Amino acid sequence: MGRVFVIAEAGVNHNGDMKTAKRLIDAASMAGADAVKFQTFKAANLVCKTAKKAEYQLETTDKSETQYDMLKKLELTRQMHIDLMEYCDKKKIMFLSTPFDIESIRLLSGLGMEIFKIPSGEITNLPYLRVIAEQRKKVILSTGMSSMDEVKAAVSVLKDNGAKDVTLLHCNTQYPTPVTDVNLLAMVKMQEELGLPVGYSDHTQGLEIPIAAVALGAVVIEKHFTLDKNMEGPDHKASLEPDELKAMVSSIRNIELALGDGIKRVSESEKPNVETARKSIVAAVSIKKGEKYTEEKLTTKRPGNGISPMRWDEVIGMTADRDYKTDEMIQI
């Protein structure tokens, strides 16, 4: 994917309203994200009608409704998907959506979506993984709530069924995630053990963790965002607002530049400082022609455009070929 691929996760923060969804696309585009991602599902295919909400969902939504009732209001129709994809094209940002059921996988594939993001909850869903793999598209697999063995098993299913380009996202599915549970080094460990590109899907509050993930080698960063954290809905509270999203993307781009190519060399910006910051061998006292250089007669001082102090042992014991005043650079 080249540079870090930043996914601005709109998710269900549109609250079922197309105007809000388009405003989220505007915000993601203005922030400089590479993609804006929604969620595609049929509530009837995703959850039993009597299923309870997660604790974090209860905190910011109507406590009297079921998870099914909540999700039913957040569904996007086929035409809504088409409209949002066209709007993304207009705003020059990639449209993505996470499918939560097999019907949704086929809908998105039929609409031409090129990258499929698998949510953490589906990592043990064998039929779902097979259908994703059969689309022969790029796959990004979130690995929240899973062990290394479960990640390996899911990757095997994907590869055995046709997926050729898989990226793993380390993730913690608690909203918001406590910093003590992030465990970023697990992302590095997945890369080492599976030899696949890795990234990070973040549910912490703030910007530091995804930026740190980039410094550790993440090639994909996914982060929830919203127009207003105080809006009613399950995911707003653990999301960034537009200004924060823009700051995160800017910081990630700076970290990309700062990582460089790993070759230790004198940079262009610091070359002018070599002479002023380094030292040369100079006379510590007045030295007459014919005198031998000794430890007492020499010292090292700035600037560094004379004989390098790394040649100290070579110079000690040599004979001065002319008179030197104190602080005058030695020449040989």
Break the chain into its structural domains and give their ranges: 5-259, 266-332
Do 40 and 103 contact (CB within 8 A), yes or no?
no
Q: Write the single-letter amino acid at 275.
A: E
165: nearest Cα among 220, 124, 226, 203? 220
pLDDT of res. 64: 76
For residues 65 and 52, what is the distance between their CA atoms, to the nearest angstrom? 9
Tokens representing 301 are 């001082």
Helix and strand counts by DSSP (H, E) for the chain: 13, 10
Quote the Cα angle for 321-325-329, to 5°: 70
pLDDT > 90? residue 78: yes
Residues 6 or more apart in contact with residue 53 via CB below 8 angstroms? 61, 63, 65, 66, 67, 70, 234
pLDDT of res. 50: 87
For residues 299 and 281, what is the distance between their CA atoms, to the nearest angstrom? 6
Q: Write the single-letter amino acid at 320.
A: A
pLDDT > 70? residue 67: yes
Across residues 253-258, what is the average pLDDT?
A: 94
CATH (one of 3.30.1330.10, 3.40.50.720, 3.40.50.1360, 3.20.20.70) for 5-259: 3.20.20.70
pLDDT > 70? residue 2: no
Across residues 287-310, what is the average pLDDT?
A: 98
For the chain, list the strands marked E by DSSP.
5-11, 35-40, 94-99, 115-118, 138-142, 166-171, 198-202, 220-224, 280-283, 298-301
Which SS3 state, helix, strand or coil, does residue 183 take? coil
pLDDT > 90? residue 230: no
Residues 6 or more apart in contact with residue 2 via CB below 8 angstroms? none
Residues 6 or more apart in contact with residue 12 via CB below 8 angstroms? 38, 39, 71, 74, 233, 234, 235
| Alpha carbon of residue 17 to chain centroid | 29
pLDDT of res. 1: 44
pLDDT band at 57 (very low <50, low <70, confident <90, very high): confident
- The pTM of the whole model exceeds 0.85: yes
pLDDT of res. 268: 95
Digit-coded pLDDT (tens) for 174-213: 988 999 999 999 999 999 999 999 999 999 999 999 999 9
For residues 132 and 154, what is the distance between their CA atoms, to the nearest angstrom? 11
- DSSP assignment letter at 35: E
pLDDT > 90? residue 60: no
pLDDT of res. 199: 98
Percentage of the chain exceeding pLDDT 70: 99
- Least confident segment among 84-88, 166-170, 237-241: 237-241
Across residues 109-131, what is the average pLDDT?
A: 98
Residues 6 or more apart in contact with residue 158 via CB below 8 angstroms? 129, 132, 133, 139, 141, 166
Which SS3 state, helix, strand or coil, does residue 49 take? coil
pLDDT of res. 51: 86
pLDDT band at 154 (very low <50, low <70, confident <90, very high): very high
- DSSP assignment letter at 311: G
Pairing type for strands 298-301 and 280-283 reads: antiparallel
pLDDT of res. 236: 83
266-332: which CATH topology?
Type Iii Antifreeze Protein Isoform Hplc 12 (3.90.1210)
Tokens representing 43 are 């509530």
